[in-house]
Amino acid sequence: MTNKTTEAEWQAKLSPEQFRILRQKGTEMAGTGEYDGHFEKGVYNCAGCNTPLYKSEHKMMSHCGWPAYFTALPGKINRHVDNSFGMKRIEITCSNCDGHLGHVFEGEGYKNQAGERVNDRHCVNSVSLKFSPEDK
C-alpha cells in the first residue's frame, strides 16, 4: 500500500490502534510498546506498507518510553515541522506510505550503541513498526 491508498482501504488493512497512530497521527502511551526495550538483530519496517525504516544497529536506549533510533535508512523517512501542542517538533513519516511514525528530537546528547554522541533521537511508536529478525 502506498500514499495513493484511500483512508477506507487503510482502515480495512490496519488494526484500530495502527490506524489511529499511522493515519491519524496518534501516539501510543509511553512504556506500552513492544519495541521499546527490544534489541534483537534485524530490521524495523513500516507496519503500514512494510518498507524497511531502521536497522537494529540504529537503535538506542533513551528511557523515553518509546523505541528510539539515532538514524534511519537513507531516504526512508520524511521530516515535517509540527507546531502542535505549543512547541516545535519534527514529525517523521514513512516516505512510501506517509504513515506517522513519531517525532525527531534534535541535539539532546544521547549516545548510540558504540558510545558516540548523536544529534537526533527518533522517538517512534511501536505500533508504527513491524520487526523482521535477521536471518541466522
Per residue in 27-85, pLDDT (tens digit) is 999 999 999 999 999 999 999 999 999 999 999 988 888 999 999 999 999 999 988 77
pLDDT score of 15 = 96
Average pLDDT, the chain: 91
DSSP assignment string, the chain? --TTS-HHHHHHHS-HHHIIIIIT---PPTT--TTTT---SEEEEETTT--EEEEGGGEE---SSS-EES--STTSEEEEEE-GGGS-EEEEEETTT--EEEEEEES---B-TTS-B-SEEEEE-GGGEEEEEPP-
Query: Among 5-14, 56-65, 83-92, 103-112, which range has the highest average pLDDT?
Result: 5-14
pLDDT for res 50 = 97
Percent of the chain residues topping a pLDDT of 70:
97
Average pLDDT on 12-17 reads 96
123 part of the active site? yes
First-last CA distance in the chain: 29
The predicted model gives 95-121 an average pLDDT of: 88
Confidence check: pLDDT of 13 > 90: yes
Domains of the chain plus CATH, in order, are: 7-133 (2.170.150.20)
Split at pLDDT 50, 70, 90, the class of 96 is: very high
CA nearest to 69, candidates 82, 56, 51: 56
Which member of 46, 94, 97, 123 is catalytic? 123
pLDDT at 136: 60
CA atoms within 13 A on the CB side of 96: 14
